[in-house]
Amino acid sequence: MPTGNYLVEARSTDAVEPAERADFWSEHIGSYQSRMGYRYGRTDDFRGETIRQRTGTYQLVRFRSDGIEYSRTARQIREDPDGDYRLLLPLTGRIVLRQDGREARLTPGTGTLVSFTSPFQCLQDPSTQAFVLTIPARELDGPLNRKSPLATGLDLSRGLGRVVRSMLDGLHAERDDLTDAQFDAVSDRVVELLCMLTTGDDRPGGARHLSDVEAVVRRHVRENAADPGLTGTSVARSLGWSLRQVQLALQHAGTTPRDLIREERLRLVRERLRCGDCEHLTITDLAHASGFSSASALSTAFRQRFGVSPREMRNGVRGT
C-alpha cells in the first residue's frame, strides 16, 4: 500500500445529482489545479471521473469526461500564479490546445507540455480520456536552460516517446502498490526523457542532448566551484537531472563530475593568485575560499595540475 505523503484518490460525477454535476466538476478540478474557466457543452448532466496520484513533488491524473473547454486568462494568472508545467496526453478522443499564438491538435499518441504562466484555451471532445502530469518548473527550466511556454506536440507513439507513455501507464496501473519515493523516482525518469524529446534528440544518450547537459553542468560548476559541498550528486539535484545523466554527459566530454569540480576550483585559485586584490589572502584562506578542505589538499592538486605550488605561482607572478 502507498506510504509517506503519497496519495491516491478517485472522484466521479456519479456521486451527485445530474443537475449538480457541472458545478461539482468545476469545484473538484479547481481543488487541485490553479484557477481556470470552465465552459460546458451541457450542464444538465455532465459526466466525468478522475483518478489522482500525487506526492509533494508530482501529480498524475487520469481522467475521462464529456466535452468541455478549459481556459486560463491573464487575470487568473496574476491572481493565482503557477509556474509548474503540465504534460497533457489524450488516450481517447481529441484535445485542441491554443497558447502563445500556436495550436496543438492532440490525439492519442501525441502529448503537449502546457505552461500555466501564459493564457490558454483547451477544448476537449466528448468521451475524452487523458493523462495530466504536473511537473515542477525547476525540473524542466533547469535542464532545458530556458523558460519555455510550450504548446508543441510531442510524439509519444514511438521510440522514446512511447517509453514515456508506457511509464505513465505503469504508474497508473500500479498506483495502489507504490510508495512516495517510488512514484517520484519514476516521475523523475519521465521528466528526463521529456527533456530529451524537447531538445529534439529522442535517442537515449544522444550526442545533441548530452552536449546540452554538459554545457549546463559546466556553467553550474563554474558558478558554484567555491561551495565546499559541491559534488556530482548536488549538481544533479540542483539541475533536476539524475546523477547518471550528468555522469554520462561528462563522460561523453572526457571527464567526470569530480574531475570537473576539481578543475574549476583550481582555475579559481589560479585566478586569485594572479589577482592583486587577493594578495592579502593566505594559501589556507585561498583553499577554504575555493572549496578545498585544506591548504595541503590544494597544494597537492595544484602542483599536479600546474607543475608548481600555489606559493611558487604567487611568487612567480610577483616577480614578473
- SS3 at position 81: coil
Instruction: Check: CB of residue 92 under 8 Å from CB of residue 63.
Output: no
The per-residue pLDDT for 67 is 96
pLDDT at 200 over 70: no
Domain count, the chain: 2
Domain boundary among 198, 216, 232: 198
Domain boundary among 180, 198, 216: 198
pLDDT bucket at 239, cuts 50 / 70 / 90: confident
Reported as a single tens digit per residue, the pLDDT across 76-88 is 999 999 999 999 9
Do both 56 and 193 map to the same domain? yes
Do both 245 and 113 map to the same domain? no
* Mean pLDDT in residue range 294-301: 93
The rounded mean pLDDT for the chain is: 86
Which residue has better confidence, 206 or 220? 220
Reading the block at residue 81, the C-alpha cell is 500564479
The per-residue pLDDT for 40 is 96
The per-residue pLDDT for 215 is 81
Do both 117 and 30 map to the same domain? yes
Reported as a single tens digit per residue, the pLDDT across 280-289 is 889 999 999 9
pLDDT bucket at 213, cuts 50 / 70 / 90: confident
pLDDT at 143 over 70: no
* Mean pLDDT in residue range 212-239: 86
| Cα distances (Å, whole numbers) of residue 230 to 163, 221, 290 | 33, 8, 11
Which residue has better confidence, 209 or 189? 189
Reported as a single tens digit per residue, the pLDDT across 145-195 is 544 445 467 888 887 788 889 999 999 999 999 999 899 989 988 888 887
What letter would DSSP give residue 147? -
Q: Residue 256: which domain range?
A: 205-320
- Residue 115 parent element (H or E): strand 110-115
Sheet holding 68-72, edge to edge: 37-40, 68-72, 120-124, 95-99, 102-106
CATH number, domain of 79, equals: 2.60.120.10
Lowest mean pLDDT among 7-11, 135-139, 198-202, 310-314: 198-202
pLDDT bucket at 15, cuts 50 / 70 / 90: very high
What is the C-alpha to C-alpha distance for residues 187 and 183, in angstroms, rounded to an integer?
Answer: 6
Do both 152 and 222 map to the same domain? no
The per-residue pLDDT for 268 is 92
Do both 63 and 189 map to the same domain? yes
* Mean pLDDT in residue range 102-119: 89
Q: Among positive and negative, which fits the CA dihedral 156, 161, 167, 171?
A: negative
Phi–psi pair at 55, nearest 5 degrees: -130, -165
Within-domain flag for 1: no
* Mean pLDDT in residue range 115-120: 92
Phi–psi pair at 77, nearest 5 degrees: -65, -45
Q: How far is CA 182 from the centre of its chain?
A: 17
What is the C-alpha to C-alpha distance for residues 65 and 47, in angstroms, rounded to an integer?
Answer: 6
**Please, which contacts does 306-313 make with residues 24 or more away whose CB atoms are closer than 8 Å?**
306/266, 306/270, 310/269, 310/273, 310/283, 310/286, 311/283, 313/270, 313/273, 313/274
- SS3 at position 283: helix
Domain boundary among 198, 227, 247: 198
Do both 174 and 264 map to the same domain? no
